[in-house]
Amino acid sequence: MNCEIRNKNVVSTTAILSALPEEQQGLIALLHQPIKTLYAGREFWQGHLHGQPVLLALSGIGKVAAATTATVLIAHFGVSRIVFTGVAGGLGEGVQVGDVVVAHDFMQHDMDVSPLFPRYLVPLHGKTCFAADGALTAELFAAAQSALVQLNASLSTWAFPSARVHRGLVASGDRFVSGRQEAQDLRDRLQAAGHAVLAVEMEGAAIAQVCHDYQLPFASVRTISDRADDAAHLDFSYFVSQVASVYARTVIEKLLLNSKAMPQS
């Protein structure tokens, strides 16, 4: 069904996705008049944040789960745009723990149908990378920068006063990269293929491909929880529960407050 026809006369809704419950901690509590819906084995929370209609959901971990959730958001709930908040491992030079990466493109680092197709190329799409929506990404980048300024000014004990916001390529794969040598090998392999990747995670490229197929705006912001090295598994749980939730809540609030009212589809 054509996306534009399906959304006609439907109120524009921003879907906010995260992979883990801790990453969305606090956002559900802020919903005005929340309504929970169970569909496809998932919980979807509809309501309003700062006067804007939103739908909160967990993507699940990995590309298949994320693609399923994105499809449900578009085909069943008719959302108008999707924003992903979560954590990632830093791969790029200068991307440190506590930094934020806003993706301008996504690729699957474990896509390999060679020799039938070039490595990393998604068959039948004829492309390796799927772009984030330009306008929404710009809004999200500005919101992330504003969020860091607010956190540094309001929290005297904030652990990342030198945190920066980066924008670039993010790689997804069905593996938690957690070894220094593995991370180095992945970085070198992608660099040799012409892909300067800033961060690695497990969902973004799948959602980007679904949104490309449906011609729906998608953008993603990832807080760097680790350097995808031997300490990644030690840092991850604490960071997600104590830091990522604060980032996610602040960035999303900034996004919604700063966004102009979206036109009806």
Cα(204)–Cα(68) distance, rounded to whole angstroms?
Answer: 12
- Position 219 scores a pLDDT of 98
Helices and strands: H and E segment counts in the chain: 8, 10
> Domain 86-258 belongs to what topology?
Rossmann fold (3.40.50)
CA triplet 49, 241, 174: central angle to 5 degrees? 95
- 224-225-226-230 Cα dihedral, nearest 10 degrees: -150
Residue 231 scores a pLDDT above 80: no
- Position 156 scores a pLDDT of 65
- Position 188 scores a pLDDT of 93
DSSP state of 24: G
Residue 262 scores a pLDDT above 70: no
Which of 55-64, 129-138, 176-185 comes out lowest in average pLDDT? 176-185
- Position 235 scores a pLDDT of 63
- Report whether 110 contacts 63 (CB < 8 A): no
- Position 202 scores a pLDDT of 96
Cα(20)–Cα(57) distance, rounded to whole angstroms?
Answer: 10
- Domain chopping of the chain, boundaries: 86-258
Flag whether the pTM goes above 0.75. yes
- Position 76 scores a pLDDT of 97
Q: What is the pLDDT of residues 20-31, one digit of tens each?
A: 888 787 889 899
E strand or H helix that includes residue 65: helix 63-75
* Average pLDDT of span 136-154: 92
Residue 64 scores a pLDDT above 80: yes
Residue 9 scores a pLDDT above 60: no
- Position 26 scores a pLDDT of 81
Q: Would you name the residues annotated as active-site residues?
A: 23, 226
> How many percent of the chain have pLDDT more than 90?
66
Peptide bond into 115 cis (omega under 30): yes
